[in-house]
A and B are shown apart, each in its own frame.
Chain A
Amino acid sequence: MSWIDIGHIDDVPLRGARMVKTPVGCIAVFRTAPEEIFAASNSCPHKGGPLSEGIVHGQKVTCPLHNWVFDLNTGQAQGADEGQIDVYPVRLDGGRILLDGASVGLRRAS
C-alpha cells in the first residue's frame, strides 16, 4: 500500500461524499459515520450517474439519477439491479484521509 493524504475528514460532510480525480478516473470518498470512510468509483455503471452526489445511508449510497443502491464494502449493486463499482482501500489516520495510491494508478506516494 502507498497511502496518499487526500484531505481532512471534516472536509467530507457526514453522510455525504467528495470527489477525487485520479488516473483511474473520478473516485468518490464517502463518509458514512463520524469516523467511517469508504472510497469507490464515482460513476454508476447504469447511466454514469455521479455517486458522490447520492444519498448516503448506512454503508450504502443511492445513485442520484435512477436510485441504484450500492454497498460500499463490496461495490455490489443491491436489490434487483445487477452491477458493480470498483472500491478502493482508504483509511483514516487521526483526522486525515489516506487513499491507496497504488490501486488508483499512482506508482509512488508523495
Chain B
Amino acid sequence: MTQKLVIIGAGMASGRVIEHLLDADPAAFDITLFNAEPRGNYNRIMLSPVLSGEKTYEDIVTHSDDWYAENGVTCRFGEHVVKIDRDRKVVVGQQGEVAYDKLIIATGSAPFVIPVQGRDLPGVITYRDLDDTNAMIEASEKGGKAVVIGGGLLGLEAAAGLQMRGMEVTVLHLTAHLMDRQLDEAAGYMLRRDLERRGITVMTRASTAAILGSDRVEGVMLEDSTGLQADLVVMAVGIRPETRLATDAGIEVARGIEVDARMRSSDADIYAVGECVEFDGQLFGLVAPLYDQAKVLAADLLGQDAAFVPKELSTKLKVTGCDLFSAGDFAEAEGREDIVFRDPARGVYKRLVLEGGRLVGAVMYGDTADSNWFFGLIRDGADVQDMRETLIFGPAYQGGGASDPLSAVAALPPEAEICGCNGVCKGAIVEAINGGATDLGAIRAVTKASASCGTCTGLVEQVLAVTLGDDFVLPTATPVCGCTDLTHEDVRRLIKSQELKSQPAVWQELGWKTPNGCHVCRPAINYYLLAEWPLEYADDPQSRFINERKHANIQKDGTYSVVPRMFGGMTTPAELRAIADAAEKYNVPTVHVTGGQRIDLLGVRGEDLPAIWADLNAAGMVSGHAYSKGLRTVKTCVGKDHCRFGTQDSTGLGIKLEKALWGSWTPHKVKLAVSGCPRNCAEATCKDIGVVCVDSGYQIGVAGAAGMDVKETERLADVATEQEVMDLTMAFMQLYRENAKYLDRPYKWVAKVGLDWVKEQVVEDEANRKALIERFLISQSVYQKDPWAELAQPKAAAAFSPIANLMQEAAE
C-alpha cells in the first residue's frame, strides 16, 4: 500500500532521501515536499562559486522542476509550514493541510545573527541560501567596501567571492587565527597571508560592538573602538539547527532535533535529517554525514535495517588559490605525537597527528594532493607505524629524503635584502657568484655583502651553497637550537627581509621543525620580533622566562624579589617609608641594598606580588626591571652639586638617561653609570654604557663588563653636551637592540662587529644616528610602561593565585 510521506525542507539531505526511495521502490510513497525557498533542491556547497562568478545557479541545480514532475513528487515550494499536528497526523501549510503517514523534518539550519545594535539595517546580510547569494551579488555591483564578520569556512568564501566581484573586503574574526575550528595556528597564518596577498584585509581578535548606519549600513564599530566603513556587512559567524516546528510540535529537541541511529525523533512516525538534527550530542554541518543519514533514513522507511554511525570528517575551503585541508582530530588529547613538514619555498605546511601508531588528524596547506590518502588512513584507523618515517611525504614518496635545510634561503626572491649594512640583495650576490666569486672573501670584495657588521655572513654562505650546489662546502655554523638549522643572525635578518611579523610566520617561513619552538628559541624569536616590529608584533608573555613573565626574580625557594626603580639611584623619605611599610605588611624577610643603588625586597610570596606592587605604585614607584633583559639601572655619584671634585651634574644626567631608557627590552641586560669626575665613584668604566664627566664635557664608553668577564669600556666618543650624551646613548641602545644576538651582552656583540663599525653607525653617520633614535622612540612609545601597574589590575592579578584549591573539598 502506498504511504503518504511529507517532507519539510528541500535541501541536500532530504533530496538524497528522495533519490534513495525512488531508486528502491518508486511506488512505495506518495511524496509531498514543502520548501520555504521558492525553488527545489540545489547544491548549497557550490554557492560560493556562484558568488564569485565561477558558476551560475543553473550549474548547481540538483533537482529541476521537470525532475520532480517526472517522479511524481508534489511540490509546495515557496510555502511555509505553519505547524505539525501530531494528533491528526497532518502538516499545516500556508495554503492548506496535508495528511501524512510518515513525516521527515529537514528544516536545515539558520544563520546565527550576533545580537548587536544595527543588525537589522538594510545591507546586513547572512550567508545561507541563494537569496543571500543574490543579495550579495547585487550589492557588489555598486562596488565599495564590504565587511565580513566571521573568518570561518563560509565567511572566507563570502569574502573571496565579494573580492572577486570587485569589492574592498575586510574580514573580522573573533579569535587569534582564521578557521580556528579546522586549522591550527600555522595553517591559519598561511591562509591569512594568502588572503592578504589577494587584497583582503584580515583582522583577528576583532570583536564587533555595533553595526552603524541610519537608513542602511554605513560601518562597523569594534569593541576596541576601531571604526570601519562598510557598504555591505555579511554575517557568517555560525549556524544553529532550525528546530522551531519540532519544538512547537512537542518533539524532543536539545540543540537540534534529537534522533536515534535510525533517524527517528521522539515520535516514531516523524524522522529528522540533516543540519537540524542532533545525534548522540553531535550536530552536523558538512555534507558527508548528511548523506549517510539520508541513506539510513531511506532504508528505515523501506523496512530495512540500518544505523547511522558518525565518521571522521574532512574540510576543504573552496577559495581558488587557497589550498587547504583538515581532517580528524589534531589537537585535543593526550598521548599524541606530531609530524610536521614545512617547505617555505613552495609555501607548504603539513602536520600529521599520530596516536597509538595510527593517524588521527591531518592539517595541510599549499599542497593537498595527498589529502585523500591521508584521510583514508584516518577514517580506516590504519596502522601507520611501519611507514612512519616517510609517512608525511605521501603515498608516492615512501622512502623519500629529509627536508632541505637551505630551502628557506633558496625560497628568497632575488630582491630580498641579505646585507642590510650595504644594501646588497640576493640577486646581486647570485650575479657575483655566477661572475666567478665563489667564496665568501670574493663576495665581500665584489659586492660588499657581509663586509661590514658581518651578521649576514651565514646567509651569504647559504646563498653560495644554494647557487653553487655541491661545489660549495658550507662551514658549520651553530644553529639557534634543535628546532632549526639557522643561526641567530640568519633568523634576525630573515625576520627583517621577509617581513615576518608573527611567531607562526617565523615557524613556517623559516621551516621550523617543531610546532612552536622550545625554551631556547622562543624567547629569542619573541625578542627579535618585538625589536623589529614594535608596532605590529605584540609581546608574548608565554615566550618569556618566568622572571620577565612575572616581572619579579624567582628565588631558589620559589619566592620572588621585588625591586622598585630609583631613577639615577635617587630616592626620597616618602619612597623609603612606602618601601618600609610594604616590607612589614608582606612579611618580607630580607631587605637588601643592591649594587645598582636601589632596594631589593627578597622573599615575597607569588600570590602577594600584585598587592605589593599596587602599594608601591600608590607611592609613585614603578618596576625597576631588576629581572629583565632590558634596561636595569643607571648608577650615579652625587656630582658637582655636592662633591668638591664633581665637574658636571652626574645625578641629573643619570636620571635623564634612566627616564629615557627604562622599559626597553634588549638582547641581554643593560647597566649604565654616570660618574661626575675621572675618580669614577659610580664605576662607569665597567658598565655596558658608562659616562665619565670631565671639565670639557662627557666621555662616553661602551662595552664594559664586570660579571663573568671583567672588561673596561671602550671610548665611543667625547662630547660637549648632555643632549649629545642622550642621543649617542639612545642610538647605541637601538643599534644593539637591532643587531645583537639574543643573550649577548653589549661587550660580546661589540667584539663581534667591531667598535669601528659601531662608531660609523652611531657617531659618524648623523642621519643614521637620527634614524636609530627615531626607531628607539617608536619602540619606547609601546614598551615604556609600568608592567606592575598592569599586572596589579584585578583581572591580571587573579592569575597569580591557584586556579583552584581542592584542599577545602578534601577537608569536608
Listed in ascending order, the chain A residues whose CB lies under 8 Å from chain B are 4, 6-7, 11-16, 18-23, 26, 29, 33-36, 38, 47-50, 53-60, 62, 64-65, 67, 69, 72-73, 92, 97, 99, 101, 104-106, 110
Complex: chain A residue closest to B804, CB-CB: A6
B799 within 8 A of A: yes
Contact partners of A12 in chain B: CB under 8 A? 803
Q: When the two chains form their complex, are residues A6 and B542 in contact, meaning their CB atoms are under 8 A apart?
A: no
- Interface CB pairs A-B, < 8 A, 23: A6-B803, A11-B799, A13-B541, A14-B542, A18-B803, A19-B802, A26-B802, A34-B180, A49-B558, A50-B558, A53-B550, A54-B519, A55-B518, A55-B542, A57-B517, A57-B518, A57-B519, A57-B522, A58-B514, A64-B546, A72-B334, A73-B336, A97-B803
Shortest Cβ distance from B764 into chain A, in angstroms?
41
Candidates B332, B519, B549, B806; contact of A101 at CB < 8 Å: B806
A-B contact count (CB 8 A): 116
Q: In whole angstroms, how far apart are the Cα atoms of A13 and B184 in the complex?
A: 17
Cα of A6 to Cα of B804 in the assembled complex, Å: 6
- CA–CA, A53 and B805, complex, Å: 18
The 10 closest A-B pairs by CB, nearest first: A62-B519, A18-B803, A6-B804, A64-B546, A55-B519, A15-B542, A53-B546, A23-B810, A7-B803, A21-B805
Chain B: minimal CB distance from A22 (Å): 5
A38 to B235: give the CA distance in the assembly, Å: 35
Majority DSSP secondary structure for residues of B touching A: loop
CA distance A110 to B811 in the complex (A): 12
Q: Could you say which residues of chain A place their CB within 8 Å of the CB of B546?
A: 50, 53-54, 64
Alpha-carbon distance A15/B517, docked complex (angstroms): 11
Residue B586 at the chain A interface, CB threshold 8 Å: no
Q: In whole angstroms, what is the CA distance A101 to B175 when docked? A: 32
A16's nearest neighbour on chain B, judged by CB, is B542
Instruction: Assess whether A65 is in contact with B802, with CB atoms less than 8 Å apart.
Output: no
In the complex, the answer to whether B332 meets A48 with C-beta atoms within 8 Å is no
Cβ–Cβ contact B541 & A58, under 8 A: no
CB distance from A14 to the nearest CB of B (A): 7
- Whether the Cβ atoms of A19 and B810 lie closer than 8 Å is no
Contact A110-B809, Cβ < 8 Å, known A57-B516, A64-B545 = yes
Judge whether B523 is part of the interface by a CB distance below 8 angstroms.
Answer: yes
Does B556 make an interface contact (CB < 8 A)?
Answer: yes
> What is the interface of chain B, defined by CB distance below 8 A to chain A?
175, 180, 184, 331-336, 338, 514-519, 522-523, 541-546, 549-550, 554, 556, 558, 799, 802-807, 809-810, 812
With A62-B518, A62-B519 as known contacts, state yes or no: A22 contacts B806, CB within 8 Å: yes
Q: How far is the CA of A84 from the CA of B335 in the complex (A)?
A: 16
Inter-subunit contact B516/A69 (CB<8 Å): no
Q: Within the complex, which residue of A14, A22, A55, A62 is in contact with B807, where a contact is CB–CB below 8 Å? A: A22
Q: How far is the CA of A26 from the CA of B517 in the complex (A)?
A: 27
Residues of B within 8 A of A13 (CB): 541-542, 799
Task: Please pick, from A11, A15, A53, A55, the residue contacting B523 in the complex, using a CB distance under 8 A.
Answer: A55
A14 to B554 alpha-carbon distance, docked (Å):
22
- A58 near B338: Cβ-Cβ < 8 Å: yes
Flag if A34 contacts B331 (CB, 8 Å). Answer: yes
Within 8 Å CB of B558, what residues of A? Answer: 48-50
List, in ascending order, chain A residues with CB within 8 A of B515's CB. 57-58
- Chain B nearest CB from A65 CB (Å) reads 7
Q: Is the CB of B519 within 8 A of A67?
A: yes
CB distance from A85 to the nearest CB of B (A): 14
The answer to whether A7 touches B804 (Cβ under 8 A) is yes
Is the Cβ of A73 less than 8 Å from the Cβ of B516? Answer: no
Query: Which residues of the other chain, B, contact A53 by a CB distance below 8 angstroms?
Result: 546, 549-550, 554
Contact B806 A23 (CB under 8 A): yes
- A23's nearest neighbour on chain B, judged by CB, is B810
| B542 CB contacts on chain A under 8 angstroms | 13-16, 55-56
Q: Which residues of A contact B810 (CB under 8 A)?
A: 22-23, 105-106
The answer to whether B333 touches A36 (Cβ under 8 A) is yes
Extra contacts, 16 of them, besides A48-B558, A73-B336 (Cβ < 8 A), are A13-B542, A15-B516, A15-B542, A20-B806, A21-B806, A23-B806, A23-B810, A33-B184, A34-B331, A35-B331, A49-B558, A53-B554, A55-B523, A59-B336, A72-B334, A110-B812
